[in-house]
Amino acid sequence: MILGFAPRFDEATGYSRKWFEKLAEHVNMHVTRPEEAVREVAEQLIAKLNPETIVFYNHGLEDSLIGNDGKPMVNMENISLLKGKTLYTMSCLSGRKLGVQHWRNNGVFWGYIEEFMFTIDEEELFMEAANHGLIVREKEKIPWSKCLEKAKTKFNELIARAKHFWTKVLLTHDRDALVCYDSTPPEEKCIIRKIASKMFRTAARKISRKFGVGLFLALIGWGVTTHAVASELYYKGGYAEILKLQGEYVGLGLTLIGIIMLASNHIAWLKTKS
């Protein structure tokens, strides 16, 4: 049995509640009302119904899932009530501590180690991404680790389908933040590894920013130079002179090709590090 909770008390939970209700159209889930997504009621329902899977959609912290009253519905104090069960979430950050503790309690955790972010323009793509893992699990009855693989693949499909730049960026962010703790333990928090990883990501971001600024300045410089050349040619012979094949155009063309090649190479390098 699947027991689902989804608060609705602000704009973000309005969207997640809609996604939750859409999920219920695809899986056999006991859907609770928004006001039932509070600690006391949730604990009573879990004890009474004894579900195998518990679904929770929206607001979370590293150590808690926030209920409809703005207080923790589930946190480190009562996570033991879910021992041995599957906890499927669409909530920010809860994979960092709450999810790890749930795994230690022999449970399966599905959720995110960073903020779950979305855009309103194409929010249906984020809904499809958030819901896909549980839908696959219920339809195909495959291990959760395989569901994670399929969910990541779905994210990639949605990134390719997205029309807007920020949709692609945030879907990529959410994909990389998605974790599933089942038979596979959470990643060990090795201090040395974390520091090295953070240093590399920071360096990559700095390189990327510097390159972005450099590319912008190079294109501005190219434009200014092109304008100056065209002006000189105009004074020399008018539009007829501008339209002639000039040696300056060869130099400007080669410069532009070089800028494009450098930009493409840098973007490809960044993709290998993502």
In contact, 92 and 60? CB cutoff 8 Å: yes
Per-residue pLDDT reduced to its tens digit, 94-118: 999 999 999 999 999 999 999 999 9
Residue 145 has pLDDT above 60, yes or no: yes
Q: Is the dihedral of CA 240, 242, 248, 249 positive or negative?
A: negative
Q: What's the rounded Cα separation, in Å, for the pair 217 and 41?
A: 59
Q: What are 215's two structure tokens?
A: 């590319």
Rounded to an integer, what distance in angstroms lies between the CA atom of residue 245 and that of residue 253? 12
Average pLDDT of 148-177?
A: 96
Report the run of H or E that residue 109 belongs to, with start and end.
strand 108-112
d(CA 265, CA 254): 16
pLDDT at 87 over 90: yes
CA distance linking residue 46 with residue 54, whole number of Å: 8
pLDDT in tens, 192-207: 445 544 554 455 455 5
Worst-scoring range by mean pLDDT, 35-44, 46-55, 209-218? 209-218
C-alpha distances in Å from residue 48, one per residue of 51, 108, 117, 188: 9, 20, 34, 35
Q: Does pTM surpass 0.95?
A: no
CA nearest to 87, candidates 179, 225, 211 = 179
